[in-house]
Structure 1
């Protein structure tokens, strides 16, 4: 049975599907010198965004299928900017309403581009007729960090699919494999109980790279992996529960899938529940799962075939034997200018290894010797004070990380 703490994301979902909890001074206002009738709307929390939309969230659609062609183009333009850490986007030519804009920013992008996670706040300009002319985004990280973290997340997601999905697997087996991977390889972030959850834990990055997250992160990671597998799914949320999960489509029917609910707290290695896997609306709200008051953008889960004591064992496919990997170092601290080498050993001899830094301005990493008899030898160079996470992946699906802390010379460990 789930603990009470498991039923919430900690920070209210109204604070963000996309945004972290902190805000700072907003970007400079859009240049409205040619259009003095423009007004600027500053959005520092997700709740502000909903309030400014002037329509109920149940009217929002979580799929690009419901968007006009102009709105689809605006979505892709904003997504490209968000993925690249760009601050300002001109939307004048798309002629989208404020309601469509908020729909895209707060719901559609989270489903269609769940890898976007580093935005902190934004402001947009709307004219007297309600059309949005531009938006400025602010981020939690520098542009270089955003690009580096995005590359890490993509590598991690590809490694997960390499480890879990193979030729010949059915769609249902793929969905189950991803669900099980998230439960087995991510721990629920119990810092939620002290309201001390880092922003990464609300993102797919938290799940696939840091391997610790809350419900929003689990939902984003599942959505990202389903997108890569071309399996339709959406993110579902309940502000009443302060909780988020997914719905996934199988054989034309929609089902609820809540990996957070199926992950024991505290974490139990090797244990996977299926209480909230492939459930109907009735199944997800039964006496065990107790989900309620959710928004699924109008999608309904009516098929009950998996609700009662369904045996999932015949559908389980073990992770690839090549997915294992070990590092000889899990964390390292040094001063600026230092150089450190570590070894990564894949499960399969000769497997190609790749390493990426979350912040190349702090620490860079490069492959020095792929044929070292002990494994792959990597070199880390300490560039400036700060912390960086080194992600190492293998072609066989292995994932490991090493945390590097770089201090000024006087503060070296």
Structure 2
């Protein structure tokens, strides 16, 4: 049985979309199409009528006759009988983002709206170009954006987005608490800091007290992970000293030398576990450790962050999984809600919690004093934090 309370916002958004398409809706038809009781639809209509979004009539509802009470969306003639179309610009169409897009497409299909997708490249100029093309085509009524917000021009980019002629919601990005834009930008993203804390606490609960964090250089996620790392270590009373920002995936030139330098620091810190972002970097480190005769997890426990391909490692890698598809779904639902309700709806900023997927790479450290399980290297590089 469908839980009416759980899906009330989605039902009411769908109701408003149907109302905008047809000008009037019938209780019986809506109940059949949404798979709920007629009483549930009547309650939805009553709730929306109480907010001035529609007018109740016998057996259904119509658009408000008083234009003064009509949301901004209904005043746009070009949206009259056509369905909503949302533009989405993401920085990549391969790693990480396909699941975000998949979630967005699922929500768009459920709500009866169209989604136009464009790919960018972690470059602010390209972000502006793709966003500008969507707006210039005059086919979208709202935007889901994941722009590059690194560097000195981040504030300028946020200001530019905040002044666009149509509303936008940031996806896996966020602004400062307050921004000097006509409207405070909304955003939805994974709570990566909490995700990192899940990994730290998992290792701690398995007896580890000395471990390190390797962050992928240049990733927007790294800043959030560093916050979670320091917060978790402070709460547990353990050292947060071994934090390295380096890319060590197999396709990175010199990755073996970089890994050697990280492990040299690990020897000095007497670590028994590593958290590595992201999966390709974690798999690369696991392969190197195995080549050196280090047993995972008996000699070195490992947790990766992202869970894109962590299950392909040997052994299968325990990993933190950001809620990518859920973020995409929520972004669409938030934007449709904003478009339908207009300024009557208060702005939202949403953090979605990741989950820890436990596999075979994390476990209890060896008993007794720590001893380096890998051979000594001569003059291993020491990489700065």
The TM-score bracket by the shorter chain reads under 0.3
Please give the TM-score of this superposition, normalised by the length of structure 1: 0.23
> Which structure is higher in helix share?
2
> Which structure is higher in strand share?
1
Larger radius of gyration: 2
